[in-house]
Amino acid sequence: MGVLMSRRQTVERVQKVSLAVSAFKDGLREQPSTRRRAEAGTVRQGTLEQEVQEGEEEALAGPSQPEESSASKAAWERLRDGRGVEPEEFDRANRFTPPAFIRPKRELHDDEPPDISLEQREQIVNDEMCEICEVWTAESLFPCRICHRVYHDGCLRRMGYLQKDSAVEVTETAHTETGWSCYYCDNLNLLLTEEEMYSLMETLRNCKIIPGVCLTLDDFLHYKHQVHKQQFERTMPEAQEEQAALQFNALDPDKKGHIEWQDFLSHESIQLLQKIRPQNALLRLLTPKERERARAAFLALDQDNDGFIGEGECRQARHTWFRKHQKEMLSCNVSISHVGPISEGSPASSRNGKSPEKILPATKQEETSIDWPGFLRENVAYILAARPNSAALHLQPLP
């Protein structure tokens, strides 16, 4: 009787809690044990257990959503825990155990303006030992271009984060200006707190988005329409639909006709951060390496050294320095950083006899001037969006 009463209380609790909380904390973990207890109980218990299970699934998936497969549930669980989506048949025999990602938490002072000086440069120091095996082997370590961590290529392979098709690319780019992002920095979804992840998972579930599945243009536009209608209770304007189509093209640089799940997840993560967190909180996410590249970009644009640049120059930085370069650009003789400016003295700036980043002096006088703090606030989302190694542009700058 005690067991039966406990299950009745569970039904009542499930009906009261929200979809996101139950899916994240209770539903995905409790459903397997619920089925086992239902199969092992009496006829009366089994009937009650079935009712409880149906109530839980209805609360998790909604009345119109079909029952998820075990593989889909496992994918949602990996997404919730920040581990991404891995193939079910992925063999981790003789591999290191993947790290347990801990989602960040918001602090009370996060919304206050951070002190990021333009004049005071920061000293960039990488770790001396591999993040995985904690062994020092000097030049054979691959540094992350975003954070201070370094890695052995063999350790990355044993972790499953470096496959054969990407090993050569990592080797060629890790020690160049373009650089390589480690598996922490490559995943923008890890910037979300648990509460923010609740919100994103609820949105994806309500729009019937399945983790790990590529999205076509029709899928992407349908999703954007649903999100807009749920948020504003009206149809998305045609202008926003055109912007969504441009964003799809930016996420599909190879013109394959679909966008990869990880690129879609990174795009939605940075979009959510823009909506939920103020710019000051986003600025606190920047690493010393990113702040240094931002300083170099601003100083290169501030030709007269008065501490101000034009609004057009700020937009220019958004379109060029804080964006992805296509993979074929990595094979050029001149290494170009996709998160830093091209200085006038560099070989790349002398093409066609004129620097492509030069702005006429009159332009700066006619436009609104932007100082260093304003430059950071305007570009912080694009700096963060440039972290993944993918050639996709995860945040399409507005014209």
DSSP characters for 100-133? --------TTTTSPP---SSS-------SS-TTT
- Does the residue 137 lie in any domain? yes
Task: State residue 252's pLDDT score.
Answer: 95
Last residue of a domain, one of 160, 186, 212: 186
Q: Is the pLDDT of residue 91 over 80?
A: no
For residues 182 and 295, membership in a common domain is answered with no
Helix residue ranges per DSSP H, the chain: 2-16, 19-21, 28-40, 43-61, 70-80, 153-159, 164-173, 194-206, 217-232, 238-251, 261-276, 279-283, 288-301, 311-320, 361-366, 372-385
- Does the residue 393 lie in any domain? yes
- Does the residue 392 lie in any domain? yes
115 versus 167: the higher-pLDDT residue is: 115
Tell me which residue range forms the domain holding 389: 277-324+368-398
Residue 323: C-alpha distances to residues 250, 389, 393 (Å): 10, 11, 6
Q: How far apart are CA 289 and CA 145, in angstroms?
A: 7
Cβ atoms of 98 and 159 closer than 8 Å: yes
Q: Identify the weakest region by mean pLDDT among 45-59, 194-208, 369-383.
A: 45-59
- Does the residue 286 lie in any domain? yes
Task: State residue 318's pLDDT score.
Answer: 79
- Residue identified by tokens 């399409």 is 396
Report the domain count for the chain. 2
Last residue of a domain, one of 157, 186, 215: 186
Mean pLDDT (whole number) for 89-115: 71
306 versus 88: the higher-pLDDT residue is: 306
- Does the residue 347 lie in any domain? no
Q: What is the CATH number of the domain that holds 158?
A: 3.30.40.10
Q: How far apart are CA 277 and CA 283, in angstroms?
A: 10
Q: Which residues contact 393 (CB under 8 A, 6 or more apart)?
A: 250, 251, 253, 323, 324, 385
Last residue of a domain, one of 146, 162, 186: 186
Query: Comparing C-alpha atoms, which of 187, 183, 204, 186 is closest to residue 24?
Result: 204
- Does the residue 282 lie in any domain? yes
Task: State residue 88's pLDDT score.
Answer: 43
For residues 393 and 282, membership in a common domain is answered with yes
Task: State residue 249's pLDDT score.
Answer: 95
Q: How far apart are CA 229 and CA 28, in angstroms?
A: 28
Mean pLDDT (whole number) for 280-302: 93
- Does the residue 84 lie in any domain? no
pLDDT category, 172, cuts 50, 70, 90? confident
State CA 332 to chain mean position distance. Answer: 28
What type of residue is 346?
A: S
pLDDT category, 132, cuts 50, 70, 90? confident
Q: Which residues contact 171 (CB under 8 A, 6 or more apart)?
A: 142, 153
- Does the residue 293 lie in any domain? yes
pLDDT category, 387, cuts 50, 70, 90? very high
